[in-house]
Structure 1
Amino acid sequence: MKILLTAINSKFVHSNLAVRYLKAFTKDMNYDCKIREFSINDREEKILEEIILEKPDVVAFSTYIWNIEMINRLSNLIKLVDENIEILYGGPEVSYDSQNILKELNGEYIIEGEGEKTYREFVEYKLGERDINTIRGLYYKKDNEILFNGKRPLMNMNEIVFPYEEDENLDNKIVYYEASRGCPFNCKYCLSSTVHGVRFLDAERVKKELKYFIDKEVRLVKFVDRTFNCNHKFTMAIWEFLINQDTKTQFHFEISADILKKAELELLRKAPKDRFQFEVGVQTTNDDVLNRINRFVNFSDIKEKVDELLQIRNIKQHLDLIAGLPGEDYESFKKSFNDVYSISPEEIQLGFLKLLRGSSMREEAEDYGMKYSPYPPYEILKTKDISYYELLKLKKVEEMVDKYYNSQKFNNIIKYLVKKFETPFDFYYELGMYFEKKGYFNRNIGNSEYYRVFLDFNMEILKEDNHILKEFLRFDYLSFNKKRGIPEFIKKSIDKELEEKIKEKLRVKYSFKDYYLESFDININKFKEDSIIVKEKDYYLFGYGGDIINITDEINED
């Protein structure tokens, strides 16, 4: 008997934790179990071919909002090719209203909620070792009816089997790991609010398992824990362990910044740079809206802790906002954006409310005049507080923030231009509208064009001279792009004679085969540090390996 555990990830670099858990939890059982991972960018015909060629008796799909529609179509195709192949569904997208969902899907079974023990008993059933009516947590079809044997109690976390295999190839993958399940908070838009309490793995076990990733030199480990720092003792133990490791592996955590304790902040000061990444769910800075979604916290508390983390300067922070929350109108969201922008985190994520199956927010949608798509990912279309057209504007802002701010490749350009607008939001909005007007959202534009846009934007919208802007444009471009084949609009500003004199003077110290020399008409360093524009020559070496050296003082030495 063969079961094909099938994951369709949102990107190729992602790995699926759920199917690995199921396989690991049944690795001692006498059946043929295989994992196949695909991406939503793969052709359905190719995925179908790969599944059928495995000759499975059962195909088990891991379902989420990003893949359920593709899985629905694949299930229909599988049944058309071989109606004897049974289909089992699990995951958050089928764990709520499961009875009605199974009526709609072309398959025989749904595992509701936490899946390890239910799946193990399902395998026993397929091996003839158990009656199906004894399996709690399983919906199944029988005689044109859908039956359910009742909910399954949550398991002890330490019963879970480590989901990664010793010889598994994790190169070039973002690896997911779970040290706890559940969340102490009850945010109405989140599925974690449907399960109360938090369960943790033993801290010593977690350390041992994290060492597995470190030894494999995994690039990035993302903890899927909803609020990693909700247990002080556990948090301190894991962070201290990771801080003391000699590794280049990065670890990503979702945290609640407002509950960070003084001892945790002191410990984080010792972390090697870029060892940790923190994702902080701000969602809104409107305290009234926060209360409406059961987040009983004030933005001022979040800001205080985020500022403290920024001062440490060794942890990349990613702050989330959600548009379409109950009670938040366009102007309120605009203020939320400007509040978060004032903190200057490394990334700002603008998301749009999704009314997930099973969330209490969906149940309260009518109270707030919420209209949302009935199709995954169930995104908000409008509320009584914010219109569809206003949400469209925010989507343009979101694209500009993601492309320009979050990439961190245009920092000086943006810093210079943002000051010309009343608020940061106004800058990104005007830039988004400019993109829309020029049709850039509807076609692919080259890398250099993303820089050139600013010159045209500055002249057409701000109606200002481009001389100073070009200096920042050239600096930011050379900081992140190839030094050969530089576009004409960022052409070299230093003349050949001066270039040779500088090289002759500094040749003993620098190999100019490894560096590109450039001069600027403004002091870049003073602008970066003090946000002031001083018109004086500034010289830099841009290394072909990525390093950047200010050599102005060396050139000016007698």
Structure 2
Amino acid sequence: MKILFTAVNSKFVHSNLAVRYLKAFTKDMDYEGKIREFSINDREEKILEEIIKEKPDVVAFSTYIWNVEMVGRLADLIKRVDENIEILYGGPEVSYDSTIFLKEHIGDYVIVGEGEKTLREFIEYKLGKREITSIRGLVYREDKEINFNGNRPLMSLDEIVFPYEEDEDLNNKIVYYEASRGCPFNCKYCLSSTVHGVRFQDIDRVLKELKYFVDKKVRLVKFVDRTFNCNHKFAMAIWDFLIKQDTETQFHFEISADILKNEEIELLRNAPDGRFQFEVGVQTTNDEILHNINRFVNFSDIKEKVVELLSLRNIKQHLDLIAGLPGEDFQSFKKSFNDVHSIKPEEIQLGFLKLLKGSSMREESEKWGMRFSQYPPYEILSTNNISYFELLELKKVEHMVDKYYNSGKFNYILEYFYPKFETPFDFFYSLGKFYESKGYFDRSIGNNEYYKLFLDFTNEILKEDNTRLKEIIRYEYLLHNKKRGIPEFLKGNITKDEEREIKERLREEYSFREYFIEKFTIDIERYKKCGEIYDKDTYSLLNNNNKFIFL
């Protein structure tokens, strides 16, 4: 018997942890298991072809909000090609209303909740060693009936099997790992709130497994633990171990900033620059709204710890906001954005509330007048406090923030514009409206157009001369792009005489096969240090690694 563990990931660079857990937990059994990973950007016809060519007896799909519709279509196509291939679903998107899901979709089985033990017993059933009625956590089709054998108790994490193979190729992949399951908090929009308690793996085992990633020189390991730092000693042991490793591997953690202890911050002070990335779920800075979603914390506590971490200057922080939360209106969200922006984290993520199946937020939707899509990902459309059109405006802001702020490639340009608006939100809002007026939301635009937009925005919206701005844009462009690709509208105006004089003066110090000479009409160094724009001809050398040397 052959089971094809099939993952349709949201991006090519992602790896699927669930299918690896399932295969690893059953690798000692007398069956053939194989993993195939695709992405939602692949053509369905190609995925179907690859699945059928494997000649599986069972196709096991890992199902999430981002792929459930595609998976449903693939299951239908598989059955049309070969009705003898059985379809097994698992994952968070099918674990809540599993019986209804199987009634409404092509397929044969659904695993509810944690899948390792249920799959193992399912394989025993397929091998003729167990009755299907004895398998807890399994929904199955029998004749025209849909049956469910009841929920399975949560397993001990000591029982799980390390999901990665020794010879597995993880180059250019984001690798996922979990040291714990569960969450101590009960946020109403999150499915983790439906399962109480946190289970931890043995710490010695965790450290041994993390060494595997270090030895394989994995680029990025993302911990999927819902609140990584909820256990002080556990988090300290892992951070201390990773700090001491000689590695370029980066590690990403979701943390709750307000519960960070001073001892943890002192330890993190020793982390090599870029070793750790922290994702902090702020969601809103309105304390009343935080309480509406069962987050009994004040933003001031979150801010205090985030600012402390930023002062270390060695950990990249990603702060999340969610639009459409119960009780929050447009102005409140605007304030939340400005509050978070004032901290100046490396990234700000503007998300939109999703009313997941089984979440208490969905159960309370009528109380808050929430209208949301009945189709995955179940995103909010409006509430009693914020309209559909206001959410559309926030989506424009989200696009501008993601492209211009989060990329880190426009920082000096953004600093030029912030003082010209009452708040940073007002700037991104205005820029988004201008972006829309140019029709850029309706088509892909090239890299150079992202820079030119600022010049056009200054001319048409601010009605200001953009001569000085052009110098800042040119500097930032050259920091992140190759000089040979610089567009005509950003080229400098250095004369041949000026260039000849500088080369003669510096010929003994620098090779002009490696360096280019750039001229600016403002003092770029002064602008970088204090934000002041001072008219002054300044010269610099630029090499192919985008390094500037000011003369």
Smaller-chain TM-score range? over 0.9
Listed as ranges, the gaps of 5+ residues in structure 2 are none
| Structure-2 residue corresponding to 1:514 | 514
How far does the alpha carbon of each residue in 1:304-341 deviate from its partner, in whole angstroms, 9 at most, with x for none?
11111111111111110000000000000000000000
| Structure-1 residue corresponding to 2:323 | 323
Within 5 Å, which residues of 2 pair with 1:8-47?
8-47=8-47
RMSD over aligned CA atoms reads 1.0
The answer to whether structure 1 residue 532 and structure 2 residue 532 are counterparts is: yes
Listed as ranges, the gaps of 5+ residues in structure 1 are 553-558
How far does the alpha carbon of each residue in 1:446-501 deviate from its partner, in whole angstroms, 9 at most, with x for none?
11111011101001000000111011110011101111142111112322222222
Q: Distance in 2 between matches of 1:70 and 1:547?
A: 45
| Structure-1 residue corresponding to 2:453 | 453
The answer to whether structure 1 residue 546 and structure 2 residue 540 are counterparts is: no
**Paired amino acid for 1:516:** F
| Structure-2 residue corresponding to 1:99 | 99
Give how far 1:203 is off.
1.2
SS at match of 2:93: helix
Give how far 1:507 is off.
2.8
Give how far 1:523 is off.
2.1
| Structure-2 residue corresponding to 1:228 | 228
**Paired amino acid for 1:370:** M
Within 5 Å, which residues of 2 pair with 1:268-283?
268-283=268-283
For normalisation by structure 2, the TM-score amounts to: 0.99
The alignment covers a number of residue pairs equal to 551
| Structure-1 residue corresponding to 2:162 | 162
The answer to whether structure 1 residue 144 and structure 2 residue 144 are counterparts is: yes
For normalisation by structure 1, the TM-score amounts to: 0.97
Q: Distance in 2 between matches of 1:542 and 1:266?
A: 38
| Structure-1 residue corresponding to 2:266 | 266
Give how far 1:529 is off.
2.3
Give how far 1:539 is off.
2.9
Q: Distance in 1 between matches of 2:541 and 2:360?
A: 56
SS at match of 1:367: coil
Name the CA shift for 1:282/1:88 in 2 (closer, same or farther; >3 Å): same
The answer to whether structure 1 residue 85 and structure 2 residue 88 are counterparts is: no
The answer to whether structure 1 residue 332 and structure 2 residue 363 are counterparts is: no
**Paired amino acid for 1:99:** T
| Structure-1 residue corresponding to 2:368 | 368
SS at match of 2:35: strand
CA contact (8 A) 2:59 2:88 kept: yes
CA contact (8 A) 2:482 2:546 kept: no
Q: Distance in 2 between matches of 1:507 and 1:229?
A: 55
| Structure-1 residue corresponding to 2:213 | 213
SS at match of 1:519: strand
Within 5 Å, which residues of 2 pair with 1:315-464?
315-464=315-464
SS at match of 1:51: helix
SS at match of 2:314: coil
The answer to whether structure 1 residue 129 and structure 2 residue 116 are counterparts is: no
Q: Distance in 1 between matches of 2:440 and 2:379?
A: 24
Give how far 1:525 is off.
2.3
| Structure-2 residue corresponding to 1:502 | 502
The answer to whether structure 1 residue 153 and structure 2 residue 130 are counterparts is: no
**Paired amino acid for 1:181:** R
| Structure-2 residue corresponding to 1:199 | 199
Name the CA shift for 1:297/1:43 in 2 (closer, same or farther; >3 Å): same
CA contact (8 A) 1:281 1:319 kept: yes
**Paired amino acid for 1:429:** Y
SS at match of 1:94: coil
CA contact (8 A) 1:3 1:32 kept: yes
SS at match of 2:340: helix
**Paired amino acid for 1:493:** N
Q: Distance in 2 between matches of 1:236 and 1:502?
A: 54
**Paired amino acid for 2:10:** S
Give how far 1:537 is off.
3.2
| Structure-2 residue corresponding to 1:555 | none
**Paired amino acid for 2:24:** A
SS at match of 2:522: coil
Q: Distance in 2 between matches of 1:341 and 1:116?
A: 42
The answer to whether structure 1 residue 253 and structure 2 residue 253 are counterparts is: yes
Q: Distance in 2 between matches of 1:268 and 1:71?
A: 42
Q: Distance in 2 between matches of 1:353 and 1:531?
A: 37
The answer to whether structure 1 residue 488 and structure 2 residue 488 are counterparts is: yes
SS at match of 1:361: helix
CA contact (8 A) 1:479 1:542 kept: no
CA contact (8 A) 1:284 1:322 kept: yes
**Paired amino acid for 2:367:** D
Q: Distance in 1 between matches of 2:548 and 2:136?
A: 61
Give how far 1:543 is off.
2.2
CA contact (8 A) 1:253 1:279 kept: yes
Give how far 1:89 is off.
0.3
CA contact (8 A) 2:492 2:520 kept: no
CA contact (8 A) 1:188 1:359 kept: yes
How far does the alpha carbon of each residue in 1:183-223 deviate from its partner, in whole angstroms, 9 at most, with x for none?
11110000110111111111111111111111111111111
SS at match of 1:449: helix
Give how far 1:513 is off.
2.0
**Paired amino acid for 1:158:** D
Deviates more, 1:524-533 or 1:76-85: 524-533
Q: Distance in 1 between matches of 2:511 and 2:336?
A: 48
Give how far 1:144 is off.
1.4
Q: Distance in 2 between matches of 1:465 and 1:93?
A: 53
| Structure-2 residue corresponding to 1:303 | 303
CA contact (8 A) 1:286 1:336 kept: yes
Give how far 1:65 is off.
0.3
SS at match of 1:296: coil
Q: Distance in 2 between matches of 1:268 and 1:506?
A: 43
Q: Distance in 1 between matches of 2:365 and 2:268?
A: 40
